[in-house]
Chain A
Amino acid sequence: MVRREIQRFCIYTLFLTILVLPMVGMRGPEFEARRAFTVLSVLVGVLLLTTVFRLLRETSFYRNLGQRIRQRRDRALGKIQVLPRPVALGSLFFLLALFPFAANNYVIDVAITVLIYVTLGLGLNVVVGLAGLLDLGYIAFYAVGAYTYSLLNLHYGIPFWFALPFGVVIGSLCGCIIGYPTLKMRGDYLAIVTLGFGEIIRLVLNNWDNLTKGPNGLLGMDKPKLILPSFSDGGLSWTVVPLKSLPSLYFVILAVALLTVIAVHRLNNSRIGRAWIAIREDETAAELTGIPTTLLKLLAYALGAVFAAVAGAFFAAKLSYTNPNFFVFLESCVVLSIVVLGGMGSIPGIILGALALIAIPELFRELASYRMLAFGGAMTVMMVLKPEGFIPATRRKRELHEEELESEEAADE
């Protein structure tokens, strides 16, 4: 055991040396020994720690310790569980509602962004998590929502709430248009076609100067407005209040996100949701049992697009500005990462995924240029450690454990 670990350590060190020294050391004509060896020693240090950790893990002391910690944790968490579900959810909601009064604008701005991505993640979850259709161009629907609202507002002065239904309709239409040619395709062919559609929509927005002002972007859309009763001049009158401040925008997106959570939760347990899962698991079998697969797959795309379009309209209204380069391929990847990292098909998982991918990088702003390096590395490490995501959906978890023996076969297909 020890020998094998040492052997492993030596081989890894050799690899690191080969990989790090030329790339880091040779930035100019001279070999920058100090720079290269600093980076190398940090990496070897990390490697050494993991090796020590792996060795320790085998000792009885660690095993006992691990067990004790786990017991403690279960006991502590068990106490939280004592709260009945409605009370827990109620207090959570209460906290979310009070949050803006305790936080500053920056934290609220981060929270708004997280909620936007929660909405996006849940929408993509319908397509990827439930119906099992890989989508690498999801951000296009977000763009469609943003541009629909912007154009309607700028050209016809339609306010946010009345523009939303248009956004929803156009978003779902786009979903169907993208969904239709992909019906015959499976897996990775689907991936590249959706990626292509995403890029096409972005490029059309960028090139269609007369309508979208191309890369200049659209500027000056109204914020959402609310009509509130006021009793100022004796007697009841109604005033229109534009939601300018960040806390008020927070409540709008909180409502959107909550509605999305409820909708996706209901879908998950509905006939449609179960039919989607059947399609995901075995399309041919699902079709044979009488599930209208074509219709349901289109529905998945359309519904997924609706949530993104709503989030997009909100995003455009919040910034009062939109630009095609906000909707690049990498954004689609971020949303997909939220879904997979959080746990496909699991609502709490996706919320956690959005928090992890949007809020945590904000904490590390001081890292500046190292931030994305850490982001990428953490993504791989997380996937390797927890391939099924932070919080796997209960149904899926069950499947995964049943599959333990079959997985080999599945991999062979």
Chain B
Amino acid sequence: MSLLAVEHVDTGYGPVAVNRDVSLAVGQNDEIVTILGPNGAGKTTLLRSIAGLVKPRRGTVTFDGRDVTVLHADEKAALGVVMVPEGRHVFADMSVRENLLLGAYCRKDRDAIEADIALMENYFTILAKKRGAKAGTLSGGQQQMLAIARGLMARPRILLLDEPSLGLSPLLVSELQGIIIDVREKFHAAVLLVEQNAGLALSVAEEGYLMNSGRIVASGSIDELKQSSVMQELYLGKRAQQNHGASPASL
């Protein structure tokens, strides 16, 4: 059984349909799964519907064997499905420490929360230096670190990361790579990573889904995905070639 299963989900805003018949799964063993795709492919909307900010129009979202399709975002967060939104969205007028505390809003174990703040400050050292600073005064990269740390403060079972590399310098992107792997290694959460930066996504994830125009167009292990003709077409601009020998499993 998967930790998170999305089955035949349609999403949209008003008259605009975004996702159509999307199915995906994240396994039990703290997998890192990525959803790749060009701008406007519907990745963020899909993630928002998994997190509970958008209600799916059709289909189901199952988390840990429980149907969570219609739950609100705060209820899903309490279950351990925590999304780090695109563009960071830190609480700009509040201090770094307050942002971290808010990440732990659902938790009642006060001592453990303090211990986790220390853990975050130890891991993201910049947060210790900026503890009392307003989050809005941090640089873009620092805000991204804070947003991820805030998400981890909830002790999530799965962290949904929406375009974490957006606006980061190449140096920070390579740092992010290590952080995403550590989400699993050190903080024991699965990761569902939405990215436009295919290099980053392919280097950390084990499984991947390729999305275009609101649909999943390819999926499989990262190696399978790299070989797929759709992937090559979308990302490398190559025409699909005669060689279909390495087509992905569920294309």
Chain A partners chain B: no
Give chain B's interface residues, CB within 8 Å of chain A: none
